[in-house]
């Protein structure tokens, strides 16, 4: 979500918004949604359409897990290259789904699916329009369109609460601090009632504190703080730490320049935001191409092959979640790690004594319930070649039937 940069001009910006004093269309049935309008850009002056270029922004010290956020504005120059985003080091993405009570991002569905296919953890966000005076309808519209799922790749949804983006709008959408807090409470409560998880709140202190009257009652919601500074900006009332920090604004006029975020924690910590049940680390894989289980033949001395009729000792693996978001597989039969030998040019074999680049994979959760593995060493997908009659090898450029597996715990 290219977020409106709410942080820079606290006193000057707010004073300007107050001085303008344009009357809000009272209780308008459907407030105008300008060009689909809002994007998460809360680190700049009210109404700004762009900010510091994210491509040149250094990753803040002390953070290691990076992500981006996007909206329809990021399609100004064409489709988003999600595999390239993942290859650049992003581990998660938030994508604008909706705004107000009627606007649906026309690119949301394709971006959401493509980001997941690239291996990112993905969440949807809603650009709040408190001027609708109808938080329940907004919340329901958002969740109806957000494609939230309690799986291992879907992050909790987020609501973007920031200054209006159109010229002449009142700073706080014409709401008093009490009205604003009441609106946010109703929206967040409705989202939680629908999905069973607290929604993340994206905002900036220079907006939140004046517009809610320093409301400190939302600290149980995860916080995405916007601030385009070299150190994390001050937090709004009620929060003692941030979950995500949007530290640089994107520029939709520059290819690949998306708003930049960092997660406050490890990749394993980030996965907890998905709300998915913790999967068993014990793993067996059954190939879609022949219905047989992947086996570490010869007690791991031979390449992996999908020829096991049932789950025995040779078909059991332990799934390791690495700190960088990748996974590794350790064969239970010999305690060695599955390796994409020869930079992926040779069949997979359980012979790695430790985890290095050759032993790292990206686990893809496909929409049909299957899983696929992409070797980090060459970016290719693991395939059960020859309909499973040949050893597994990381050679496929895309996911087809030979690259799909069912995952079993034991």
69 is catalytic: yes
35 is catalytic: no
CA-closest candidate to residue 355, choices 322, 399, 402: 322
Q: DSSP for 241-306?
A: S-SEEEEE---TTSTT--EEEEESS-HHHHHGGG-PPPPPSEEEEEETTTSPEEEETGGGTS-EEE
315 is catalytic: no
3-state SS class at 363: strand
C-alpha to C-alpha distance for 264 and 266, rounded to whole angstroms: 7
C-alpha to C-alpha distance for 91 and 6, rounded to whole angstroms: 25
Residue of 74, 162, 224, 385 marked active site? 162
**Which tokens in the block code for residue 24?**
């809000």
Residue of 131, 138, 160, 403 marked active site? 160
Beta strand ranges found along 313-380 (DSSP E): 317-321, 327-331, 337-340, 348-352, 361-365, 371-375
Query: Residue 11 carries which DSSP code?
Result: H
Q: For the stretch 165-195, what's the b/e string if a residue is b when 16 or more beta carbons lie within 10 angstroms of its beta carbon?
A: beeebbbbbbbeeebbbbbbeebbebbbebb
Question: What is the C-alpha end-to-end distance of the chain, expressed in Å?
Answer: 40
3-state SS class at 124: strand
Q: For residue 247, how far is the Cα from the chain centroid?
A: 16
C-alpha to C-alpha distance for 162 and 140, rounded to whole angstroms: 20
C-alpha to C-alpha distance for 97 and 146, rounded to whole angstroms: 6
**Which tokens in the block code for residue 304?**
């992996």
Q: DSSP for 19-82?
A: HH-PPP-TT-SS----TT---S-BTSSTT-S--S-GGGPPPPTT--EEEEEE-GGGGTTS---H
3-state SS class at 388: helix
Q: DSSP for 176-213?
A: -HHHHHHHHHHHHHHHHHHHSSPPEEEE-HHHHHHHHT
Catalytic residues: 69, 160, 162
């Amino acid at each position: 979500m290219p977020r409106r940069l709410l942080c820079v001009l606290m006193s000057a910006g707010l004073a300007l918004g107050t001085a303008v004093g344009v009357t809000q269309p009272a209780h308008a049935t459907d407030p105008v949604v300008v060009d689909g309008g809002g994007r998460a850009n809360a680190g700049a002056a009210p109404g700004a359409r762009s900010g510091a270029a994210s491509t040149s922004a250094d990753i803040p010290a002390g953070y290691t897990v990076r992500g981006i956020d996007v909206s329809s504005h990021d399609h100004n120059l064409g489709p988003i290259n999600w595999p390239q985003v993942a290859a650049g080091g992003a581990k998660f993405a938030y994508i604008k789904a909706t705004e107000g009570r009627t606007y649906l991002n026309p690119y949301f569905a394709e971006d959401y699916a493509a980001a997941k296919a690239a291996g990112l953890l993905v969440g949807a966000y809603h650009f709040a329009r408190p001027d609708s005076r109808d938080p329940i309808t907004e919340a329901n519209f958002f969740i109806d369109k957000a494609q939230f799922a309690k799986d291992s790749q879907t992050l909790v949804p987020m609501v973007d609460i920031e200054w209006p983006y159109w010229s002449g709008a009142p700073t706080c959408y014409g709401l008093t601090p009490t009205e604003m807090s009441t609106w946010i409470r109703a929206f967040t409560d409705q989202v939680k009632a629908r999905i069973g998880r607290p929604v993340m709140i994206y905002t900036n202190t220079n907006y939140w504190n004046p517009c809610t009257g320093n409301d400190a009652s939302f600290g149980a919601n995860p916080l995405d703080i916007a601030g385009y500074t070299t150190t994390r900006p001050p937090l709004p009332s009620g929060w003692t730490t941030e979950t995500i920090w949007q530290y640089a604004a994107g520029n939709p006029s520059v290819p690949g320049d998306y708003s930049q975020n960092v997660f406050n924690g490890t990749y394993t910590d980030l996965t907890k935001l998905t709300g998915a049940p913790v999967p068993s680390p014990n793993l067996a894989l059954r190939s879609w191409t022949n219905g047989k289980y992947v086996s570490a033949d010869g007690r791991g001395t031979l390449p992996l092959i999908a020829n096991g009729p049932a789950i025995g000792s040779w078909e059991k693996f332990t799934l390791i979640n690495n700190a960088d978001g990748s996974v590794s597989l350790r064969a239970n039969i010999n305690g060695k790690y599955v390796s994409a030998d020869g930079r992926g040019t040779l069949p997979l074999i359980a012979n790695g004594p430790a985890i290095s680049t050759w032993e790292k994979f990206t686990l893809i959760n496909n929409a049909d319930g299957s899983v696929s593995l992409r070797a980090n060493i060459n970016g290719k997908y693991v395939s059960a070649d020859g309909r499973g009659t040949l050893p597994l090898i990381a050679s496929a450029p895309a996911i087809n039937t030979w690259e799909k597996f069912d995952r079993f715990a034991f």
